[in-house]
Amino acid sequence: MTFNSFNELIAAAEAMLQAIPDKRKQHAELSALDTLATVKSRIINDGINSEGQPLGKYSEAVVPYWYFSNKPSNRNAQEQAKQLLKNRGYHVSYKDWREQHGLPTDKVTTVFTGEMWRSISSKLEQHDENITIVVISSNDEENQKKLAYLSSRYGDLLRLSEQEFAEIQEDDRQRILFCIDQYVGLI
């Protein structure tokens, strides 16, 4: 971008400064979406926390099969509990219950029905000319409690690893540079 005068450059810079709050809001919302997608993928696909450690293993402690007959399920829970009795016997574990549903048991994924992760989103909490705050949380109380419980058990599920944080930070830096280039073309 070329400017015919210093005044044109000043006008472009002023326009950019006027746009900063809206751009900051867009960038913060995109960074929050990137954060959520990143941690969700890492936990569900790899079963590891932000430190690169496995979340753990599913419980093999046994309970009577009927304990699971009223638990959330993507299938008929009572019918699945009966099948569990037939396939595994009277005493079964949560790991058995997951296997009955065809879910992974080799790593903790924090997903059974997927409801909790579907309920998590980013929300613009505050935005003005000086500050933008975007919060990532569940949109309902029950799943927020589930997220809090799982985070207390496995560590903050929504925490980025250092590498993930650096990648999202670099994406945001590139967005900022693109914005500057759009207005003043100095980059």
Residue % of the chain over a pLDDT of 90: 65
Per-residue confidence band for 183, with pLDDT thresholds at 50, 70 and 90: confident
- Which has more pLDDT, 143 or 10? 143
**Cβ neighbourhood burial of 83 (10 Å; 0-12, 13-18, 19+):** middle
Phi, psi for residue 133 in degrees, rounded to 5: -125, 125
Looking at residue 181, its pLDDT comes to 82
Q: What are 179's two structure tokens?
A: 């914005």
Q: What are the pLDDT digits (tens) for 20-73? A: 778 889 999 999 999 999 999 999 999 999 999 999 999 999 999 899 888 888
pLDDT band at 2 (very low <50, low <70, confident <90, very high): low
Percent of the chain with pLDDT over 70: 96
pLDDT of residue 13: 74
Q: What share of the chain is helix, strand, coil (3-state, %, to 5)?
A: 55, 10, 30
Residue 187 has pLDDT above 60, yes or no: no
Query: What number is the average pLDDT over the span 126-137?
Result: 91
pLDDT tens digits along 141-170: 999 999 999 999 999 999 999 999 999 999
Computed over its alpha carbons, how large is the radius of gyration of the chain? 24
Q: Which residue has the higher pLDDT, 74 or 83?
A: 83
